[in-house]
């Protein structure tokens, strides 16, 4: 279906693939073909949810899955797409491993003369004079 390839899965209202399939179902068209088209629409939305999860956008992924469930709300029974939606929801709930290494431990600040011993002041008064040019 061209609207699926164009990304018009369930919006805009009245011009989406989902709405056209529902019109076909109400008009008594080929039921099997219409239900397959609904599965295709929901599958595309699940694919978008996985893409969002891969980018770390779990809230967006959840919205895509909710939209997929709304597309399938007229279905009765258990379809493979509904199982995929449940699997994706479980994946959202699981903590994802971080791709970044843990931050390095914080080192206490050291005085510059401890790092560079040759800069160690001989006396506090002498070092202040050298910097302030008194």
Verdict on whether the full-model pTM lies above 0.75: no
Cβ(38)–Cβ(21) under 8 Å? yes
Give the residue-averaged pLDDT of 23-27. Answer: 79
Average pLDDT over residues 62-88: 83
Cα–Cα distance, 45 to 35 (Å, whole number): 15
pLDDT above 70 (res 110): no
Instruction: Say whether pLDDT at 73 is over 60.
Output: yes
Contact 10, 16 (CB under 8 A): yes
Q: What is the domain partition of the chain in residue ranges?
A: 2-93
- Cα separation of 116 and 100, whole Å? 33
pLDDT at 71: 84
Whole-number pLDDT of residue 113: 46
pLDDT at site 109: 63
Report whether 42 contacts 71 (CB < 8 A). Answer: yes
Structure tokens at 34: 């219409």
Written as six digits, the tokens of 14 are 């009245």
Identify the H or E element spanning 83: helix 80-93
Query: What is the C-alpha separation between 41 and 36, in angstroms, rounded?
Result: 9
Which pLDDT tens digit goes with each residue over 1-10? 566 666 667 7
Which pLDDT score, from 0 to 100, does residue 115 have? 52
Asked whether 95 and 101 are in contact (CB, 8 A), the reply is no
């Amino acid at each position: 279906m061209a609207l699926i390839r164009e990304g018009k899965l369930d919006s805009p209202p009245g011009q989406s693939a989902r709405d056209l399939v529902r019109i076909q179902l109400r008009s008594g068209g080929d039921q099997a073909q219409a239900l397959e088209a609904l599965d295709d629409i929901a599958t595309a939305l699940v694919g978008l949810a996985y893409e969002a999860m891969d980018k770390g956008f779990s809230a967006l992924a959840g919205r895509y899955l909710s939209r997929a469930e709304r597309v399938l709300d007229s279905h009765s029974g258990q379809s493979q797409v509904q199982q995929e939606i449940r699997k994706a929801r479980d994946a959202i709930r699981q903590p994802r491993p971080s791709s970044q290494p843990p931050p390095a431990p914080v080192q206490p600040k050291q005085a510059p003369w401890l790092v560079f011993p040759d800069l160690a002041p001989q006396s506090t008064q002498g070092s202040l004079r050298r910097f302030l040019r008194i």
